[in-house]
Structure 1
């Protein structure tokens, strides 16, 4: 039996590392890994595994060195399904920070928020990071008071990341929910569930997975990021796509060579 993709991965960040090794899908880390559409703005962003890994490394360095975040910390992510959200998820897992998508900022050690969550994010007494979520990763026209502007801070960070101490696969990595029920997972459990999800959803090496699901629960995280990563696939994230006609969907699926559609 063929070993699963990234068979030795024990934390979610190691799923990404597998794309950069010789023998990765098509043996080319420059191939698309994350493609993002925002149909309210017409934005389309495409990131190869190599470019995505660079964003993750810079963000992880920002977390570890500038925000002093570590394995004992919990980060509330008030963000939609977005390529920058995917970056933050992998960066937190690279450092060992527990991620809580849609979590209560008042109960978190730090908060990462998009424009729509800034008011709620003010309840966090720790570090606060704001993402403008503008095309091309642009900055806020004016930095929100009490927040770091991610787009202004991340470019100067290092292109390579190494945690101060190895991330423990048995430590908690994710707090989310399934069908309204709380779900707390270690890094190892997150990887195992991602692999199970890839098998259940029929995702394999080289597939192109299109997802319209939010990242506020396990189903969206699984479909729009983790299961594709566990399988050696790539993902097309579509935000604000409700108004697309069947014909427009057909064109997108053809243009992006989508093989699995979820949501």
Structure 2
């Protein structure tokens, strides 16, 4: 059985790690390179680094920051933010990223997914999805860092993206983001029933028990968290210990 992954997320704006609630009210929580190193040393399984204003500001993620982070961590490292071409993805991979997350650009031009998958392999292509529940109880996909409702149905979009070659899905609940009220289990279950690629749950982690719950109640293979780790409310070691006690497969420091 695959070990479940704990994945801290570094949301970066203006060169600093930030965190908000429901994608707004951002506060500064530190330097991304130092944070990446600290999380790596604390035993996280992977890292995700998202430049959250790159698309909105019409630029790509800073390559130098990617290089500096890659020099500090020796675990899978995903980068996203403003990446809209095969060439830009190539630059990120050359700078040290293991995987690249695409979101808005893929929604605007889905052929980008297949082009990147053909060039680098599906395992390098992470589809990042920001979804919000609508009045009719469906979920819509948003782009530009959660600023714009595309009107696209979440379940239709993830199926299309996987068919085009996305090798992993990073699914963020905008309703749960930063609330620390637990992951959106219903949304994750719905998506997991439709696609067979690894699924990372994002949005809502408030305790180690929330992480245990998402693994026990959904087929998610990774749990992404920011607030609880950034503010020291719970450590990665404590979270993994809770997972182990619950009988979940987890990599403890020193494991191969």
> Relative contact order, CA 8 A, sep 6+: which one is greater?
1
- Same fold by TM (over 0.5)? no
TM-score, scaled relative to structure 1:
0.30
Q: Normalized per residue, which structure has more strand?
A: 2
